[in-house]
Amino acid sequence: MILWLRLFLRQSAKRGLIAIVCVSMIGCASIPAGIQPSAQDPWESFNRSVFSFNEGLDTYVLKPVTTGYRYVVPSFARDGIDNFFGNYNDIYSALNQLLQGNPGVAAKGLMRVVVNTVFGLGGLIDMATPGGLPKHKADFGQTFGVWGIPSGPYVVLPFFGPSSVRDTFGTAADIETDYLLRLLPDVALRNSLTGLRIVNARNNYYQAGDLLEGAALDKYSFVRDGYIQRRQYQIEQSKAGYDDEETLPPFQNPYE
């Protein structure tokens, strides 16, 4: 759900304040009986309210739109769209790997972009991964973590949830440097691509919500703990100079 958050934050801090006020009007959800509070989540009651808001938005808006997208667009076309945006995101991942002090990983990331752009029809086909250039995702929140900035409390943000105080600032930095979100001069094309990115991101985790419903006694706690653990793992791997997504724990954040 991070792409929803990016779309939400790109206008200004004023819109962010308005959204926070609106969510505050929902009220604070109570913590279910038997659930132990987490020291990393001091705002849990409020976070649960925002989590419920995001879940409702996903249930009644995003998932139905994605269902229609899956019905209309054939699988090979969806794969091509996902590869295109993945190739675009590799540019920013390479930049962040460089900022994290991993020039070798950054160079491989840029090589992925070159290979997929030139030989993969502009990024529609992923030629780099089978060619021995694995994807290494990175963003500014992760970069701040590598620089030693503490995460701060866990927070669930409106429109694309699991985050931390540090990662919230990282998301703002991601938005400010995102060409497709802020700098593309054709407004109609920019908005169309943004909408397609959102639907594509949700499509990647189309069945994740159903799996979580069946696997977790408390979905909120499961997502929170998985997010925190996975984020810390990414940062530690990058500090060590090795950040291979294939070595990450078997948890996929449906809001990423």
Q: Which of 241, 229, 17 is nearest to 252 (CA)?
A: 229
Interval 54-71: pLDDT, tens: 999 999 999 999 999 999
Distance CA 152, CA 245 (A): 24
Q: Which tens digit of pLDDT belongs to each residue from 181-240?
A: 887 889 999 999 999 999 999 999 887 766 666 665 788 998 999 999 999 999 998 988
Where along the chain do its domains lie? Answer: 2-26+42-247
> Can you read off the two tokens belonging to residue 20?
């926070």
Structure confidence by residue, pLDDT tens digits, 107-129: 999 999 999 999 999 999 999 99
CA distance 91 to 239: 20
The runs of H, that is alpha helices, within 60-207 are: 63-72, 75-99, 103-119, 140-146, 165-176, 187-204
| Model confidence pTM above 0.85 | no
